[in-house]
Structure formats: C-alpha cells, structure tokens
Amino acid sequence: MKRKMVSVLLTAVMAASLLSACGGAGASTESAPAAAPAAEAAPAAEAAPAAEAAPAAEEAGAAAAEEATGGADVSGKTFAIVVKSAGNPYFKKAIEGFTEVIEGNGGTVVVKEPSAATVDAQITEIQSLISQGVASISVAANDENALQATLEEAMAAGIKVNCFDSKVNADSRATFCNQAGTTEVGQALIDAVLDLSGGEGQYAILSATSQATNQNAWIEAMKSIQESDSKYANLELVEVAYGDDEPQKSTDQTQALLSKYPDLKVICAPTTVGIAAAAKVLQDQKSSVKLTGLGLPSEMAEYIGNDDAHSCPYMFLWNPSDLAKLAAYTSIALVKGEITGAVGEKFTAGEMGEYELKDAGDGGSELILGPPFQFNPENIAEWKDVY
C-alpha cells in the first residue's frame, strides 16, 4: 500500500512539474492524461495527498522562476511613479528608467504626470493611486511637507512610499532616493560660480519653485559653504529668482535679472528647465553673463562652450534615468519586504549593485545615487545623445 502511495505521489508531482514548465497548450494536453489513471487507481483517501502535491510543485516552480530573476520578480504588482509635472524632459527620462526596471521584473507601471508643478495637482494624482490600490508609489515632491497627509493615507492602506529627486519629510516616506549628496551638489555649484566669476562679483540663482525641497537644500548648501570659507568672501548673491520650472517664466526671470543687475557676472540655475531657458536668453542676447547649474546634455549641448559665443562653459547633473531606476529597485525591495526604510539596511538594485540606506539628517533614511557629474566642451558631444 505504501509503495502504491509513493507511486501516486511521484506521478502527480511529475505531471504538475511538466505543466508548470511548458507554456503551450499541446504540452498541457499531453501531460494531463498521464496523471489521470494513477489518480483514478488510488482510493479517495490516498488521492488527497497527491492533489496537495500539485500546488506544492507549482509553488516550487514559481520560486525557481523568482530565483532566476535575482529575487526581484513582482508579477501581478502595480508600481506608480508621480513626477513633478507633465512636459519636463528630465522626468520623461526618469519615467523611462523606472518603467524599464519594473516591467523588466514582471510588474506593471502607472505613470502620473500632473498638469502643473503644484502640491494640489500631486495630491489629486496620489489619491487616485490610493483608490487603485497600487503596491508602491515613488514621488518627486513639489513640497516637502504638504503631501504628508495624503502619503500617510497611502501608507496606512499598505502602499509602500518612497521619493526620488525631491524628498518629502521623514514621516511621509519609507526612504528617499537622492541623486547626490546635498553638500556635494552645493559645493560643485558654488565652486563653479567662483570660477566663472573670476573669484568676485555678483551672481544670481534661478531656481524652480520656492517650495522645491531639493532646490532649496542645494541653495542653502551653497550659502552655507560661501559663508564658512573666506575664499568666497568677494562673491555677492543678489537674488534667488523662481521660474517655477516653466520655460516662459524662467525666460522672463532671466531677462529681469539682466535688467536689474547690470554688473551681474554669473547665473546659477539648479534646475533643468531654468538653465535651458537662461542659456537661450544669454546666448541670444550675446550677454557677457555666464551660466552654470544643473542641465540635461541633450538640451544644453548648443550652449556649452568656453568662448564668448556660448553662454554656459560647463554644468552638472546625474542620469535621471538611473535615479528613477534606483527608485524602482527600492520600490521592489520595499514591496518584497527586503527593506523597511531603516538606516543601515542593504539591498541589491539589480545591475546597479548593492546600496545601503544612510541617515538623511531629517529623521529618515536616504540612498545616494552618486556625485554630480560635470558636462563640458570636452564631453558634451558624447552625452548629448544619451539623455
């Protein structure tokens, strides 16, 4: 009797394995009859364990498939990305990177691009995602604190929340995917201002919105570094202007800066929309004012140069696609329970390698993609077709 029982179990498991390994209808049709006679030959009491063995084999097959994808398979899960606004080329690249990772690991992506770079627009989009019951939300915040109630509602519903590019406060997120350390960005920008101004004179900053957390953090880092080191003593910050990440408003603000400050030497625009708008104004007007900041190589290539014909000698950025890929891998790790968002936790972000969650200095954790990269006349040609 025991031998007969073992025979039944082995036959059922083999049949289930064949069914799970073969996707074609023909394979399923041929495999099914092989298990049927054995099941019929056994009494009802003996057939029950065999029936239980089939789901076990299917689970083993699913586990093997997950292991083959590096443990990142998220089939059946939906992951959302919420950017600051529609029509921003920087975030178009971010969406591409995020989608590549999630879909490459079997998940589904929902993209939300608010019509305007406002908190209210993002709240509306996030509330719709809560209603949909997505597994995760990755958001580039338009305000650090104003999204808290909505994101706490999302987390209470079991949705894993992380932010990238521009953070929300520590109570509103599991962790923050930071493109570069705040101090490192501020250092690169103020050193560029020092260099392009010849070590002295007036400079202005053209930012995005007045509530943009990343912009504000970088600007504060620039100010702090300038105040703490005497080598910046002859630089004068005359104004921080806000173009709200809108091309026309950024253009208008650039023209206003040129009109108000005839002795202006440098404009620093730590925003991709702002730097592109300012570059065109300065170059079209053949202005002697020089530009630096954070920009997309594809948009800035025609303005990068060391001569008087070009408005921007060099600038900085990171790869927005890579940043969003990191956010995607972070979302997967959160959904799968590999991390919770605590400082010191580690996980593998696919081909990007291992990352460790660091103290963000605001009561929460963050991940650092890497240092800012300089784009200049020597390398802009090779990068302009990348992003």
Q: What would the mean pLDDT of 35-62 be, rounded to a whole number? A: 37
CATH number corresponding to 182-317:
3.40.50.2300
Q: How far apart are CA 60 and CA 56, in angstroms?
A: 6
Q: Could you tell me the pLDDT band of residue 386, with boundaries at 50, 70 and 90? A: confident
Q: Residues 6 or more apart from 45 whose CB is under 8 A from it?
A: none
Q: Do domains 78-178+321-343 and 182-317 have the same CATH topology?
A: yes
Mean residue pLDDT of the chain comes to 86
Cβ 314 vs Cβ 375: under 8 Å = yes
Going through the chain in order, the beta strands assigned E by DSSP cover 78-82, 108-112, 136-139, 160-164, 175-178, 201-207, 235-242, 264-269, 290-293, 315-317, 346-348, 354-356, 358-359, 365-368, 373-375
CATH number corresponding to 78-178+321-343:
3.40.50.2300
Using CA atoms, how far residue 239 sits from 223, 257, 258, 268, in Å, is 12, 8, 11, 11
Going through 199-311 in order, the beta strands assigned E by DSSP cover 201-207, 235-242, 264-269, 290-293
Using CA atoms, how far residue 135 sits from 129, 245, 340, in Å, is 9, 30, 14
The pLDDT value given to residue 73: 87
Q: What is the pLDDT of residues 73-86, one digit of tens each?
A: 899 999 999 999 99
Cβ 131 vs Cβ 157: under 8 Å = no
Q: Could you tell me the pLDDT band of residue 71, with boundaries at 50, 70 and 90? A: low
Domain boundaries, the chain: 2-68, 78-178+321-343, 182-317
* Percent of residues, the chain, with pLDDT higher than 90: 80
Cβ 339 vs Cβ 81: under 8 Å = no
User: Around Cβ 373, how many Cβ atoms within 10 Å?
Assistant: 15
